[in-house]
């Protein structure tokens, strides 16, 4: 990936985080974190990865963000002036924390079994 795309990804991630923090104070959205942004090489589409604290509300929050993406894109276009055309935003749930939790549970089970064998 080029240096320019990496800079744009970081800029969009930072600005989106600020928009969610200050502009979108909707209690229906709850506690979310922007974990990553990946812009396509032609700068037409941006994949925004979001981590949601409450696992049960993930689909509802994703649907809410999809409904608000026009508003979010407009806010982002006002804040970021050095991109000629603001990319279309697509939101995705980032499930890497779930994967980490699953691996940690496997390691705990292995260590628990090791402790039983030692006794």
Total domain count for the chain?
1
pLDDT of residue 99: 81
What SS3 class is residue 58? helix
Task: Assess if residue 106 is contained within a domain.
Answer: no
Q: Which residues contact residue 76 at a Cβ distance below 8 angstroms, ignoring those fewer than 6 apart? A: 12, 15, 16, 19, 86, 89
- Residue 1: predicted pLDDT: 67
Instruction: Please state the rounded mean pLDDT for residues 25-33.
Output: 80
Q: What is the largest CA-CA distance in the chain?
A: 67
**pLDDT tens column, 77-101:** 999 988 889 999 999 998 877 788 8
Q: Does 115 score more than 70 pLDDT?
A: no
Within-domain flag for 27 = yes
Does the reported pTM lie above 0.85? no
Instruction: Using alpha carbons, list the distances in angstroms from residue 100 to 28, 94, 106.
Output: 26, 12, 10
Give the domain CATH number at 34. Answer: 3.30.300.20
Query: What token pair was written down for 48?
Result: 């925004």
**Six-digit token string for 99:** 């994967």
Mapped onto helix, strand or coil, the DSSP state of residue 83 is coil
Domain that residue 40 falls in: 3-94
């Amino acid at each position: 990936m080029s240096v320019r795309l990496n800079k744009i990804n970081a800029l969009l991630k930072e600005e989106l985080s600020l928009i969610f923090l200050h502009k979108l104070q909707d209690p229906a959205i709850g506690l979310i974190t922007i974990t990553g942004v990946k812009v396509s090489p032609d700068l037409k589409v941006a994949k925004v990865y979001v981590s949601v604290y409450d696992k049960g509300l993930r689909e509802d929050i994703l649907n809410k963000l999809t409904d608000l993406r026009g508003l979010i894109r407009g806010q982002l276009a006002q804040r970021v002036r050095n991109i000629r055309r603001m990319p279309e935003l697509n939101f995705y749930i980032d499930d890497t924390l779930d994967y980490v939790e699953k691996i940690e549970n496997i390691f705990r089970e292995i260590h628990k079994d090791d402790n039983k064998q030692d006794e």
